[in-house]
Chains A and B, each alone.
Chain A
Amino acid sequence: MTYRRSVSRKLARGLALVGLVGTILLLAAVVFFYSLTFDDLTAQDALIKAVREMLEHVALPLVVLMVPVAFVVRRVIRQAFDSLEEAATAIEAARGHERGFRIDTSHLPAEALPFTDAVNDLLGRLDDAAMRQEAFAADVAHELRTPLAVLSLEFDRLDHDDAARLKNDVAGMRRLVDQLMLLAQVDATAAAQFPLESVSLVEIARDVVSLLAPAIIAEGKAITLDVGSGIPMARGRREAIAAALRNLIENAVRVTPLGGTVNIRVGPDPVIAVGDGGEGLSPERLRELVRRHSRADHASTNGAGLGLAIVDRIMAAHGGQLTTDPAVRELSLHFPSA
């Protein structure tokens, strides 16, 4: 059943009913007051007179009353529903910033408040539940760090062929734990509606590349940074953008073969592109990877894990996008133009 109870239709029906009942009552009143009898109505003169009387006392008042009423009612209803439609637009616009979102009730009619208050209350409870869940995940991740550090150091001490392999596995677990904590942080800052600052993408790229370069070079790979003309800026949180870029570069390094180069490009648009020596990632595969728990087939045992999901979240929080261009084997962070 797709039947919807439309308020307008109901009102139209109500008004039609009022008109009908009014007509009958007025007709009865006219008949009664003028003491019209059936005989009067059969006489030609009397009938014309009666009809005129009826037009004057029934049809005219009805038209005078009903038309403005219908008009005003229609207007009031449209206004009331316009504010609801605006609220719906605001809800739709909040896509990606759901955390902490509440329907703004300041422009809504009082009659809608019980409903919106109930919805807001539900949103609050959902937020609380999500927050508890994330806090729990962050706690678990945090608690896992020390035992993993101990395990890793124990393997470090072990003089055995398998030690390096095991240590590698532990390093993968540690990275996952760090990513879980980062994800919790990203969600928390998204919820906090952090104040936006204007940040230089070139500066962020230089910092992150400087920080990661020693490990990349030690792995026998290279990294370069090409800066285009202009000063590409983005509005957002510096640490978060740096974390997104770090994850993207770490991902690129993983798929780049020994002796290969990871190339970062910034500007002139507010875009940071990370090119790797891998096979390129199709948009479909990227969408899959962004959904948290999957992992690219070509990734090693220390696979990306949550990396790209985190990048996607950070970009969404900045009103930007993570895109892929498999033809040039690049993943890009697109920020909205400042």
Chain B
Amino acid sequence: MRVLVIEDNDRLAKLVADGLQRRGFSCDIATTLSDADSALGGAVYDAIILDLGLPDGDGVAWLANRRQYRQMPPAIIQTARGALEDRVTGLDAGADDYVVKPVEIDELAARIRALLRRPGPRAQPVLEAGCLRFDTAARTAHCGDYAIDLSRREADLLELLLRRAGTVVRRETIEDALYNFNEPVTPNAVEAAVSRLRRKLDEAGATGALHTIRGVGYMLKDVAA
């Protein structure tokens, strides 16, 4: 996976690129927006990490402008500003995610992986988290070499959790995604589906991968601990 880091602080850019490289990404650095333009012209990137205050212009305006005319890889905005207004502006401009500087490399890597799991023009056919692999076309799941036998609904649930691995998926979101509008949902239908899926994951060796956050939702761990 190839990532373009756009950041004017030379040292910070190198450290971020270096950290991502050690986590399996290949990285290029652009310290100005014109550098970024030429890098994007010369190679295909899976994701870009964009600092907002750059010497030759504002990152948000640049991103909005590029989004209008060209196909762009998903972008994560990285900025020292943490205010809500900035976040809204950034997301309106076409950013896919937003991190507040200074960010941990592990968190950044997790966000990039999450972006690449999202459905979209560059969506991956196989979703992975820890030992789990899910083929979105064939609807089959594996933990390592072990094939997990899933019902249609369990497969949908696993896909939903995998696409957002490492983040909490709200109960209501699961309910909306798994049961259609007219279908009556019993109060503990989601709990039951989750506990069936958890049992199957445990049997497959992915023990403790699926977490319950009581009162909120569920989370699939991003990396096997």
Contacts and interface: CB of A to CB of B under 8 A. Distances in A.
Most chain B beta carbons < 10 A, residue from A142, A146, A210, A214: A214
A287 to B, nearest CB: 29
B130 interface: no
A209 B216 contact: yes
Classify chain B's interface size.
Answer: 20 to 34
Contact of B170 (A146, A152, A206): A206
21 contacts: A146-B102, A148-B102, A149-B12, A149-B102, A150-B11, A152-B102, A153-B18, A153-B105, A157-B15, A157-B18, A210-B170, A210-B216, A213-B168, A213-B211, A213-B213, A213-B216, A214-B168, A214-B219, A217-B211, A222-B211, A264-B215
Given A146-B12, A209-B215, A264-B215, 19 more contacts: A142-B80, A145-B80, A146-B80, A146-B102, A149-B12, A149-B102, A152-B104, A153-B18, A153-B19, A154-B15, A156-B19, A181-B82, A206-B216, A209-B213, A210-B167, A210-B216, A214-B166, A223-B213, A225-B215
Interface in A178-229: 181, 206, 209-211, 213-214, 217-218, 222-227
A210 B168 contact: yes
Contacts of A222: 211, 213
A224 B221 CA distance: 17
Interface of A: 142, 145-146, 148-150, 152-154, 156-157, 174, 181, 206, 209-211, 213-214, 217-218, 222-227, 239, 264
Nearest to B110: A214
A206 to B, nearest CB: 6
Nearest to A266: B215
A224 to B, nearest CB: 4
B215 A224 contact: yes
Contact of B101 (A149, A154, A157, A225): A149
Nearest to A202: B215
Contacts, number: 81
B195 interface: no
A193 B216 CA distance: 33
Contacts of A154: 15
Contact of B213 (A174, A218, A224): A224
Contact of B15 (A153, A218, A226): A153
A241 to B, nearest CB: 13
A223 B15 CA distance: 33
Nearest to B84: A239
A100 B82 CA distance: 25
Interface in B184-225: 211, 213-217, 219, 221-222, 225
B6 interface: no
A145 B101 contact: yes
B198 to A, nearest CB: 14
B19 A217 contact: no
Interface in B96-128: 101-105
A28 to B, nearest CB: 82
A132 to B, nearest CB: 21
Contacts of A214: 166-168, 219, 222
B216 A153 contact: no
B16 interface: yes
Closest 6 CB pairs of A and B: A149-B102, A225-B215, A153-B15, A224-B214, A210-B168, A213-B213
B136 interface: no
A156 B105 contact: yes
Contacts of B80: 142, 145-146
Contacts of A156: 15, 19, 105
B65 interface: no
Contacts of A206: 170, 215-216
A252 to B, nearest CB: 15
Contacts of B11: 150
A166 B119 CA distance: 39
